[in-house]
């Protein structure tokens, strides 16, 4: 039974209260749709996939150039962060995708695998070699259908996910690569090949886009299999908590059309609700820090202090130039990317840089530095040392969780951000860009205090939320290397929550 045609689901989706499935997957985003697609490939297993949002049948999903048009629609969770004293008290818009495909249906279409050191670090944290780069590289080779320069050691063909380098690269982006090379960042054939084994490099970006259409993980793994008799997909159905019998997950409670329904899981419940809602579901189920749970009157099932902690993401800050009056590429997707290291954190790249041929800055930054009519924005992204937290605002499942990113709360993160801005300015102010760019608009100052003020107004999210149910074997870990929730039988987390730290770049592929 599938309700994927856009009509509102009837309460409970027509599935009887108490109906039993072998597996219940909660959230049909980048990860959940793959999990449901793979599990339901076995006709002997019955699978229920529950998604809070609606379908992905929209030109704003199909056409990756229209991705920003999804902000402010029913296809996003419009979370708002807690006020951050490091950001002049600002609250940040903290979007995530909602509906079939999740973030994979609304994102910018960058396909970024993560650096070798990310995966080897995960293997060490999880104490499981299968998370190491060597194994993950094999997985990437198996899932990709690569349409770029052959690299049989690293790239695969014939897999379900169609990946290619950006097509018809506009000279603005080849100029970006020229400027990066002049700044000492070597050029590579692909952003996901050998570059992911080096300290710095630049390349045309890779994207999961085919013939101009988005190929989300949902499209690649599930959309063509909705007629499987063993698969039930219910949209407009929001999971409020996991049902537990002692320390065994036996099902979930969900809300649809204002009605509460319970579904039973004979084998396993898999939480794939994303890095904000997965920890919220765990906390409402009595799995989390016991003193926090008690403060809400939630009976403690399993004390796991790491639930909701360790929120990681990339920090983004738009640096703006005024452009000459010459033809610019379509406005929304960077076709090139640069990666480089932070001298204070040697070993792996920590920074990346995209370029948007339009003005793309926070409201506060736009107020401080009014955008010229013809604006180009360099978009640096950086990994942070600090970590944020997701916590409950109350026990009502319709209440959005509290999200405190704590961006720039670690004093060394400001020093890193200053170094990151310096490289973006070197690229933007290079001789290579002179035919395109008239003058720097923001930050356009070298005074440390002024650049710091620019950053406090400019910082935004790169929408790479992760880490809030991280894997590992230590006291703060929430799941083990096989993604099983510590102390609970029959419950896994499979989404970006499990990543111990954010990968080098975008997070759909990881």
Ligand X SMILES: Cc1cc2nc3c(=O)[nH]c(=O)nc-3n(C[C@H](O)[C@H](O)[C@H](O)COP(=O)(O)OP(=O)(O)OC[C@H]3O[C@@H](n4cnc5c(N)ncnc54)[C@H](O)[C@@H]3O)c2cc1C
| Both tokens assigned to 159 | 């897999």
- Angstrom distances, CA of residue 189 to CA of 179, 338, 430: 16, 12, 22
User: Judged by CB, which is closer to ligand X: 48, or 320?
Assistant: 48
Give the DSSP H or E segment for 78: strand 76-80
CB of 326 to ligand X, least distance (A): 26
CA distance 483 to 133: 18
**What is the distance in angstroms between the CA of the first residue and the CA of the last residue of the chain?**
30
- Residue 1's nearest CA partner among 9, 105, 70 is 9
303 is catalytic: no
Q: Please, what is the minimum distance in Å from the beta carbon of residue 257 to ligand X?
A: 14
The catalytic residue among 115, 314, 464, 486 is: 464
Q: Write down the least CB distance from residue 314 to ligand X, Å.
A: 10
Which one, 207 or 342, has the nearer CB to ligand X? 207
321's tokens: 């130039």
Query: CA-CA-CA-CA torsion for 438, 444, 445, 450, nearest 10 degrees?
Result: 170
Any bridge partners for residue 161, and if so which?
A: 144
Is the C-alpha dihedral spanning 45, 75, 491, 312 positive or negative? positive
Q: Which residues would be at the binding site for ligand X (CB under 6 A)?
A: 26-32, 50-53, 95-99, 102-104, 106-110, 112, 238-239, 272-275, 277, 281, 463-464, 495-496, 506-509
Q: Which helix (H) or strand (E) holds 292?
A: helix 290-295
CB of 214 to ligand X, least distance (A): 10
Minimum distance between the CB of residue 377 and ligand X, rounded to whole angstroms? 15
Q: Are 257 and 298 in contact (CB under 8 A)?
A: no
Q: 397: closest CA among 244, 251, 240, 237?
A: 240
- What lies within 8 Å, CB to CB, of 479 at 6+ separation is 469, 470, 471, 485, 486, 492, 493, 498
CB of 335 to ligand X, least distance (A): 12
SS3 assignment, position 11: helix
Nearer to ligand X, 12 or 27 (CB): 27
Q: Which residues are catalytic?
A: 464
């Amino acid at each position: 039974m599938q309700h994927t045609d856009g009509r509102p689901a009837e309460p409970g989706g027509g599935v009887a209260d108490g109906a039993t499935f072998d597996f219940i997957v909660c959230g049909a985003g980048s990860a959940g749709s793959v999990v449901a697609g793979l599990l339901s490939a076995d006709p002997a297993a019955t699978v229920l996939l529950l998604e809070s949002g609606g379908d992905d049948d929209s030109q704003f999903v199909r056409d990756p150039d229209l991705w920003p048009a999804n902000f402010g629609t029913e296809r996003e969770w419009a979370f708002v962060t807690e006020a951050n004293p490091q950001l002049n008290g600002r609250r940040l818009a903290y979007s995530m995708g909602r509906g079939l495909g999740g973030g994979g249906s609304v994102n910018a279409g960058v396909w970024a695998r993560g650096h070798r050191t990310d995966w080897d670090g995960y293997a060490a944290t999880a104490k499981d070699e299968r998370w190491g780069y060597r194994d993950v590289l094999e997985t990437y080779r198996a899932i990709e259908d690569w349409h770029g320069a052959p690299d049989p050691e690293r790239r695969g063909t014939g897999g379900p996910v169609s990946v290619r380098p950006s097509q018809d690269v506009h000279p603005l982006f080849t100029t970006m690569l020229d400027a990066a090379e002049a700044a000492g960042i070597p050029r590579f054939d692909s952003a996901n090949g050998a570059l992911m084994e080096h300290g710095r490099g630049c390349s045309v970006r890779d994207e999961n886009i085919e013939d101009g259409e988005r190929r989300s993980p949902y499209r690649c793994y599930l959309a063509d299999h909705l007629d499987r008799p063993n698969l039930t997909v219910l949209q407009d159905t929001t999971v409020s908590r996991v049902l537990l019998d002692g320390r065994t997950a036996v099902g979930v409670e969900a809300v649809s059309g204002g009605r509460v329904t319970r579904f039973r899981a004979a084998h396993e419940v898999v939480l794939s609700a994303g890095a904000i809602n997965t920890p919220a579901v765990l906390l409402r189920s009595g799995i989390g820090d016991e003193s926090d749970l008690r403060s809400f009157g939630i009976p403690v099932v399993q004390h796991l202090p790491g639930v909701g902690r360790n929120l990681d993401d990339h920090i983004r800050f738009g640096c703006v130039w005024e452009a000459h009056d010459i033809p610019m590429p379509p406005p929304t997707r960077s076709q090139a990317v640069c990666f480089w290291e932070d001298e204070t954190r040697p070993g792996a790249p920590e920074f990346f840089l995209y370029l948007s041929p339009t003005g793309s800055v926070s409201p506060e930054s736009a107020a401080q530095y009014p955008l010229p009519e013809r604006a180009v924005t360099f978009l640096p992204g950086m990994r942070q040392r600090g970590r944020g937290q997701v916590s409950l605002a109350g026990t009502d499942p319709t209440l959005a969780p509290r999200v405190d990113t704590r961006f720039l709360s670690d004093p060394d993160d400001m020093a890193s951000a200053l170094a990151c801005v310096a490289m973006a300015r070197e690229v933007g102010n290079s001789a290579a860009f002179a035919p395109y760019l008239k003058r720097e608009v923001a930050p356009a100052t070298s005074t440390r205090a002024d650049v710091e003020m620019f950053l406090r107004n400019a910082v935004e999210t790169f929408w790479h939320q992760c880490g809030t149910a991280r894997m590992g074997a230590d006291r703060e870990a929430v799941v083990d290397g096989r993604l099983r929730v510590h102390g609970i039988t029959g419950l896994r987390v499979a989404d970006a929550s499990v990543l111990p730290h954010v990968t080098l770049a975008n997070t759909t592929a990881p």
